């Protein structure tokens, strides 16, 4: 990976997680050769790691292709169970969702992705299957742009450089330069709106969630295409979303000092 590590560093652990990381929502089933290419290792090495992880129960295989097994959920479950933010956010998201009749979520930043840690779904949102733990490219989402905008310039540029900025729809931001300009605009206005850039008919609005003066998460409302185009976005939806985010921030701050 081009990074200097101490003599404590266990390269095989890095490789094992590279193999697990090769399985994505877009490619849940992969052959040995595909994993080898994604994890940047030889086919023989990939096969050994795959078979070992399958033996340990983290992967399943039909003999030709591999996929993640339910046991991988154990890796993240302890983190989620000890994360107080979802429990704090949920009642506020429920109120917001009921008020707007839209889906409300809270996400955190994980390298170049956002991860959903709390979500209350509106029956009207049927196009995307999203749940706690789902990851999306940070650059392509309203939550991600809020969280990326909170980074210092060096960190932001590094993450954008490593992001796979590409067209998902005709409305997707066309380049990294245009993306950086949009993130700067998000910084200035304090909120983000993404209109049908990741999926047709789906838009989102997001604002920051703070703890001790630092942005730690983003609160979001997902919108249908028709509602996402209404003139009342800033006058009606945004103040309610900000109020919910402020309430989450206040409760989260109490946990910090209490």
Global pTM value: 0.68
pLDDT at position 1, please?
42
pLDDT at position 159, please?
93
> What is the four-CA torsion angle of 81, 85, 90, 96, rounded to 10 degrees?
-160
pLDDT one-digit tens code per residue, 54-63: 999 999 998 8
pLDDT at position 230, please?
47
pLDDT at position 85, please?
87
Structure tokens at 139: 């650059």
Listed as ranges, residues in the chain with pLDDT below 50 are 1-2, 227-230, 256-258
pLDDT one-digit tens code per residue, 126-136: 555 677 888 88
Q: Tokens 């996929």 belong to which residue?
A: 67
Sequence-distant (6+) residues with CB within 8 A of 38 are 18, 21, 22, 30
CB 221, CB 244: distance < 8 Å: no
Domains of the chain: 11-72 (1.10.10.10), 83-257 (3.30.450.40)
Alpha-carbon distance values, 192 to 56, 73, 207, 208 (Å): 42, 31, 7, 9
What is the rounded radius of gyration, in angstroms, for the C-alpha atoms of the chain?
Answer: 20
Cα 38 to Cα 41: distance, rounded to the nearest angstrom: 8
pLDDT at position 37, please?
93
pLDDT at position 2, please?
47
Helix (H, G, I), strand (E, B) or coil at 79: helix
């Amino acid at each position: 990976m081009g990074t200097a590590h101490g003599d404590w560093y266990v390269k095989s652990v890095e490789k094992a997680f590279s193999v697990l990381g090769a399985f994505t929502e877009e490619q849940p089933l992969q052959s040995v050769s595909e994993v080898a290419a994604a994890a940047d290792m030889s086919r023989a090495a990939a096969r050994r790691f795959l078979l070992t992880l399958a033996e340990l129960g983290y992967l399943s295989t039909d003999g030709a292709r591999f996929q993640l097994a339910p046991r991988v959920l154990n890796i993240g479950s302890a983190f989620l169970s000890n994360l107080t933010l979802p429990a704090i956010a949920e009642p506020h998201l429920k109120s917001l969702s009921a008020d707007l009749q839209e889906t409300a979520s809270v996400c955190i930043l994980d390298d170049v992705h956002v991860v959903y840690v709390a979500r209350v779904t509106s029956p009207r949102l049927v196009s995307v299957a999203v749940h706690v733990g789902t990851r999306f490219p940070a650059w392509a989402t309203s939550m991600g742009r809020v969280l990326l905008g909170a980074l210092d310039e060096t960190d932001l540029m590094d993450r954008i450089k490593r992001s796979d900025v590409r067209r998902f729809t005709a409305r997707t931001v066309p380049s990294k330069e245009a993306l950086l300009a949009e993130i700067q605009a998000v910084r200035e206005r304090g909120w983000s709106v993404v209109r049908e850039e990741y999926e047709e008919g789906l838009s989102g609005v997001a604002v920051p969630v703070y703890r001790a003066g630092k942005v730690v998460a983003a609160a979001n409302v997902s919108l249908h295409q028709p509602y996402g185009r209404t003139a009342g976005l800033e006058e009606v939806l945004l103040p309610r979303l900000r109020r919910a985010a402020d309430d989450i921030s206040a409760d989260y701050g109490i946990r910090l000092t209490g």
